[in-house]
Chains A and B, each alone.
Chain A
Amino acid sequence: MSDIPQERLSLRQRLLREPLVHFMVLGGVLFGAYALQEGRRDGVEPSRRIDLTISDISQLVRVFHSQWRRDPAPEELRQLVEEKAREEILYREALALGLDKDDTIVKRRLAQKMQFLAEDVAAAHEPTIEELKTWYEANRERFAFPPRIGFRQLYFSTDRRGAKARDDAEAALAKLAGQTESASIAASLSDPSMFQDYYSDRTPEFLGKEFGPKFALAITKLASGSWQGPIESGFGWHLVYVDALIPGRVPAFEEIEPEVKQAWLAERKSQAWDKTYRDLRAKYMIFLPAPPEDAPAHESSKTEQSTPPGRKDPS
């Protein structure tokens, strides 16, 4: 990851970096704020002071600009500054009242940041090609390409034929024995359908979506080069002529290097976080309360739980 490329900086962004522009845009507000500060500077405790720097304010302008694609009007800028101060004031007052303590959301949010940061540490390292290759060799199956199938299909609708659909398909198959894929009698034996007559180069996943999982599973097992079936879809029965079957394969590393890198990174992040947490966890001990006097004896009165509680599949 690099910094924002220079060519991505618009004229507006460049202008925003110009101190002169800052001065002109912010002049009014700053003057007011400064005058206010001057008047009260003496005797103001640091905890009661809200100091905004040029960079703070130009950040407000930048954020506004990225939202609205224009600079704030002086009045709007004054509001932004007031908003900023309000946020800071309420934040400080809340801290002073201890509102951050025992607040579940604050705790969880901070815990979430811990994970992000831990993962970032892991992601900071760029893997070498050798590292990736070695890892790929151990994880090849995850990257396998699915088989692809080309076929023609005839549809026997249960809407039209009810329970007879399968038998009708069987009967049609008998007539199609030895016939070619483009046999002219084929269409007359079957029902018009909402599907294509011919599908080329489709994965089982696509066929699962289009015809249902049963069909996708069955078609990969059919012999190619003749009419086969009947096989069942979510809509009825089908006779199928498979004319092309490209088996699934595991690609060479070079074909999918970016994906390997991505997967490697994801795994590394997850490992880094697990390890970080394990290390942290090892420093702590959990003490459970003593059970009431009449509790069953096998509950120890002071339990140390050294591992997180087990989780189970609820289904």
Chain B
Amino acid sequence: MRNWLGSISVFSLLVSVAPALAQGNPLRDAYFGETHIHTSWSVDAWVMGNRITGPDDALKYAQGQTIKHPMGFDIKIDTPLDFIGVTDHSEYVGVTKQANTPGSYVSKLPEAQPMIMKDPNSSAEQNQVFSYLLKLAASPPVKALMDPKVTSTVWKDNVRIADENNKPGKFTAFCSYEWTSMPGQRNLHRNIFFRACEHVPDYPFSALDSKRPTDLWDWMDAQRKAGNELLAISHNANVSDGWMYPVDVDNTTGRPIDAAWAASRDRNERLIEIKQGKGQSETHPLLSPNDEFASYELYQTILGQPADSGRIDHITGSFARQALKDGIAMQDVRGYNPYKFGMAGGSDGHNTGSPYRQDNFFGLHANADGSVERRFAGVLIGGTMDVRLENPGGLTGVWAEENSRASIWDAMYRKETFGVSGPHIKVRFFGGWGYDAGVVNAGNWVQQSYEGGVPMGADLPPTPSAGKGTAPHFVVWALKDPSSANLDRVQLIKGWTQNGQSFEKIYDVAWAGDRTPDKWTGRVPAIRSTVNFDTATYTNDVGSAELKTVWTDPDFDSTQHAFYYARVLEIPTPRWTLIQAVKSGLPPPDVVPLTGQERAWTSPIWYAPSAEARKAAQAGTTVADLKDKGAAVVSEDELKALVEGKAFWLKNNVTGEQFWQSFTADGHTTVYRVGPGAEMPSGFGKVALDGYEGLTSPYKVEGGQLITFVSQDAYAYTFYKLGDAYYAARSNEFGYANYQIVPPPKFAINPLDAVVGRFADTLKLTEQQRQQALPFLKQELMQLASLKKDASLSPEQKIERLRAFSVSLDEKLKPLLDADQQASFEAVRDQLRRRLIEQVASKAAGEAEADVKSWFTRESDK
């Protein structure tokens, strides 16, 4: 029994000739390919009913030829691909042919004698051989025919198929297979891509050999050492139940993650599949509560789990953006980053050919989802996979010199790649320090971009020594798929870390039409939807064909590790469920949205502070620091007394945010006074919304810790007492104790009173002067408050506004003051300006502005 079970994960290998790397096209072109497809040669595909088509058909389909869906109807790709790697397995194939080849190894085996035909065209003889094969197939595997000498020729057969379809310059067929590790139904799958096919091993490393990624990496290292370059693309982190991106312990080995583990992962796992037929693995609304586009093609399921099992897929540890954030936090605190991956996309289709468009969705799993009735019925494949949640396959985009195995593989290795949800959206992304704002309009902008910085997937070059205080510039360009919808916007997604906490922010950087970013949130409003729900169509009346810009990070802090990647969104279009509802007359399933926005994701560009810059970073407090100072861990009983049935204010000492948290006596908690604008670190879930709605989540005091939950994932606080002060370390913040219980903040009923009071004291104003100055100060205060939050202004513009405010205030106040008072006012103003100028010169503009504001509001704020 184990033999055939094992064969699920023993996969085919292909051998072939790699052409030399092209030198002639340094600006590179975009190529689109499928990096994850199964044919009938995959046992699971066969089981689901794919019995007709093999790897040859997959390669034909990718090149635009019509093939058969397992249910017998024709399928054809919308836009042919530039490359593909079939990720199958095989066994037993080719044995008969070997037996009938005079002089071959098989032909001499006693077991093979009955297969040899004197006249291969005699149907009588064919039948005779076939009956023998039937006997063979019905009995346990024939060891002689499982010999590597036989199976390696079988793989040669597969290689022949890849080689016959590999046309350097036109179409690339890779040697690839899937490593299908699934401990406890947790998807840890990786697709393995070989650079060349001449040196592929006789046997691929299968999950039968080991389910541990570390063993796979060791094997890959051994292959690489022997001159056989290869890389892995992990997929479906979203259904890994939290095991794809661990930060502390590798669950498959039980060993702590260390520098060697990180280096091994980084060396071998160059890309991740960000989207495929079973959902996207970019992020989840719970991890990215401020990302209004995060609720997209979610597919939260444990694959293959019995339908009556009560397990639920864990969210933490299952998404790429959080892994990128954890990665830089690990880099900052521990000195290594296992998660510096690039983006890819695939389908994971099991029909030999996959759909990539909403208007061409013929399913991914043979009979199980091969008809609209079955798809709409919400069939549960393998017990838990809801067909309605499926969506067309993604694709991998690469920027490569030419369409060849070596050139495309090298692009994958250096992560100059992007994933698309299906349409061939092209996106370029460069980072550097000196890009001119007009560079995207130059005829040779691509060349200038390569020369002035680095492309997607790379690290920003060191900050130029003369560039102190400057922020990196990013060139981003996106072009729609000519056969798909227009583009809505390009976003840059930034992640950064400080004192063990990590953060994310999304910037709209280029968008179609004359929309203005919302003044308070900085977000570009949603584009008008052209979707007609009666006909399930859309028009390109809105949106752009091309979007491009040069963007500078307005919040850049040179002391913090950061990453940036671009996300391109198409305008809203009907989802396949709506399209097929209209065609079939059935009501559309209500468990999925009716429309969606197709998208592309680039590989990130990383920023690492220099040693010098890192030294200037704001120092945090670690648990070790607290212990050194003599802090004691708060005991469980003390903690229960502190928490249960109580409420208190906590301050995040990294961001300065304060929030009020209530704990009921029977185990429920809610965080209040956090808005969507609050700078919340990773792992807080949707606290803003929950606080607003008054929703609770469970908590418990256990093992000396306060354990809170975001969905089902535990985040534990350990409390320390130092003198009278309570500090807390959160379990996901890498040894930092970033929280402190603080006294309830004082609220000024009228913030103006405090400012005016302070102002009056400083200048010794009379009561009459106070009354006269009040309206001007009130106006100034409101202007400053709104200025701070106005995200539509650049830092430079803000400082300009600030200057304008103070000049106008000066003009209004001075006539009210006597000579002495005017002198003191001048002195205060001067001091303020000097401070402002110094800060602008040395620090990020945003901080300076905050400080100026604090001169007026410091007391009233708190």
Report A's interface with B, CB cutoff 8 A.
Answer: 1-4, 56, 59, 62-63, 66-70, 87, 90-91, 94-95, 99-100, 104-106, 108-118, 120-125, 157-159, 192, 194, 205, 208-213, 215, 233-236, 258-259, 262, 266, 270, 272, 276, 279, 311-315
- Given A1-B104, A66-B148: A235 and B545 within 8 A (CB)? yes
**Neighbouring B residues of A63 by C-beta, 8 Å:** 148, 202-203
**Neighbouring A residues of B546 by C-beta, 8 Å:** 157, 159, 194, 235
| Docked CA distance A311–B225 (Å) | 51
**Neighbouring B residues of A259 by C-beta, 8 Å:** 164
**Neighbouring A residues of B73 by C-beta, 8 Å:** 311-315
Binding-face segment, B369-377, B645-653, B770-778: B369-377
**Neighbouring B residues of A123 by C-beta, 8 Å:** 94, 96-97
| Docked CA distance A106–B1 (Å) | 8
* Least CB distance, A159 to chain B, in whole angstroms: 5
- Given A1-B153, A125-B120, A213-B483: A109 and B205 within 8 A (CB)? no
* Least CB distance, A113 to chain B, in whole angstroms: 5
List residues of B (211-241) whose CB comes within 8 Å of A's CBs.
219, 222-223, 225-226
**Neighbouring A residues of B370 by C-beta, 8 Å:** 314
Most buried by B among A67, A236, A258: A67
What are 27 A-B residue pairs whose CB atoms fall within 8 Å in the complex? A59-B143, A59-B147, A66-B148, A68-B222, A69-B222, A69-B223, A91-B2, A109-B47, A111-B46, A111-B51, A114-B133, A116-B92, A117-B137, A118-B133, A120-B93, A121-B130, A122-B126, A124-B120, A125-B121, A159-B546, A205-B80, A213-B483, A233-B482, A235-B546, A279-B127, A315-B372, A315-B580
| Docked CA distance A115–B94 (Å) | 11
| Docked CA distance A284–B692 (Å) | 68
* Least CB distance, A278 to chain B, in whole angstroms: 13
**Neighbouring B residues of A312 by C-beta, 8 Å:** 73, 371
B809 sits at the interface (CB 8 A) = no
- Given A112-B40, A159-B544, A192-B443: A209 and B72 within 8 A (CB)? no
**Neighbouring B residues of A116 by C-beta, 8 Å:** 92-93
B411 sits at the interface (CB 8 A) = no
B190 sits at the interface (CB 8 A) = no
Q: Which residue from chain A places its CB closest to the CB of B205 in the assembled complex? A: A67
* Least CB distance, B654 to chain A, in whole angstroms: 42
- Asked whether, in the complex, the Cβ of B46 is within 8 Å of the Cβ of A211, the reply is no
| Docked CA distance A313–B69 (Å) | 9
| Docked CA distance A235–B486 (Å) | 9
**Neighbouring B residues of A311 by C-beta, 8 Å:** 71-73
- Given A1-B94, A2-B104, A66-B202: A112 and B483 within 8 A (CB)? no
List residues of B (55-72) whose CB comes within 8 Å of A's CBs.
56, 64, 71-72
Instruction: Identify whether the interface residues of A are mostly helix, strand, loop, or mixed.
Output: helix
- Asked whether, in the complex, the Cβ of B98 is within 8 Å of the Cβ of A1, the reply is yes
| Docked CA distance A69–B218 (Å) | 11
- Asked whether, in the complex, the Cβ of B96 is within 8 Å of the Cβ of A209, the reply is no
- Asked whether, in the complex, the Cβ of B482 is within 8 Å of the Cβ of A235, the reply is yes
Interface residues on B, range: 35 or more
B156 sits at the interface (CB 8 A) = yes
- Asked whether, in the complex, the Cβ of A117 is within 8 Å of the Cβ of B133, the reply is yes
Report B's interface with A, CB cutoff 8 A.
Answer: 1-4, 6-7, 40, 43, 46-47, 51-52, 56, 64, 71-74, 79-80, 92-101, 103-106, 117, 120-121, 126-127, 129-130, 133-134, 136-138, 140, 143, 147-149, 152-153, 156-157, 164, 201-203, 205, 209, 219, 222-223, 225-226, 362, 370-375, 424, 441, 443, 477, 479-484, 512, 544-546, 580, 583
- Asked whether, in the complex, the Cβ of A276 is within 8 Å of the Cβ of B80, the reply is no
**Neighbouring B residues of A262 by C-beta, 8 Å:** 56, 164
- Asked whether, in the complex, the Cβ of A121 is within 8 Å of the Cβ of B126, the reply is yes
- Given A123-B97, A315-B362: A67 and B545 within 8 A (CB)? no
- Asked whether, in the complex, the Cβ of B126 is within 8 Å of the Cβ of A113, the reply is no
| Docked CA distance A215–B482 (Å) | 9
* Least CB distance, B752 to chain A, in whole angstroms: 48
**Neighbouring B residues of A56 by C-beta, 8 Å:** 143
Sample of 16 further A-B pairs with CB below 8 A, known A70-B222, A109-B47: A2-B104, A3-B153, A4-B105, A63-B203, A66-B203, A69-B223, A69-B225, A105-B47, A112-B40, A117-B137, A118-B133, A121-B133, A124-B117, A158-B545, A209-B424, A313-B73
4 closest A-B pairs by beta carbon, nearest first, are A234-B482, A212-B482, A314-B371, A120-B96
| Docked CA distance A194–B157 (Å) | 42
Q: Which residue from chain A places its CB closest to the CB of B95 in the assembled complex? A: A120
- Asked whether, in the complex, the Cβ of A87 is within 8 Å of the Cβ of B96, the reply is no
* Least CB distance, B236 to chain A, in whole angstroms: 21
| Docked CA distance A193–B56 (Å) | 38
**Neighbouring A residues of B93 by C-beta, 8 Å:** 116, 120
Which of B105, B201, B583 sits near A67, CB closer than 8 Å?
B201
| Docked CA distance A262–B161 (Å) | 9
Which of A62, A113, A314, A315 sits near B92, CB closer than 8 Å?
A113
Q: Which residue from chain B places its CB closest to the CB of A116 in the assembled complex? A: B93
**Neighbouring A residues of B580 by C-beta, 8 Å:** 315
- Asked whether, in the complex, the Cβ of A1 is within 8 Å of the Cβ of B156, the reply is yes
**Neighbouring A residues of B105 by C-beta, 8 Å:** 3-4
| Docked CA distance A3–B56 (Å) | 23
- Asked whether, in the complex, the Cβ of B134 is within 8 Å of the Cβ of A91, the reply is no
- Asked whether, in the complex, the Cβ of B80 is within 8 Å of the Cβ of A67, the reply is no
- Given A59-B147, A67-B219: A121 and B96 within 8 A (CB)? yes
* Least CB distance, A104 to chain B, in whole angstroms: 7
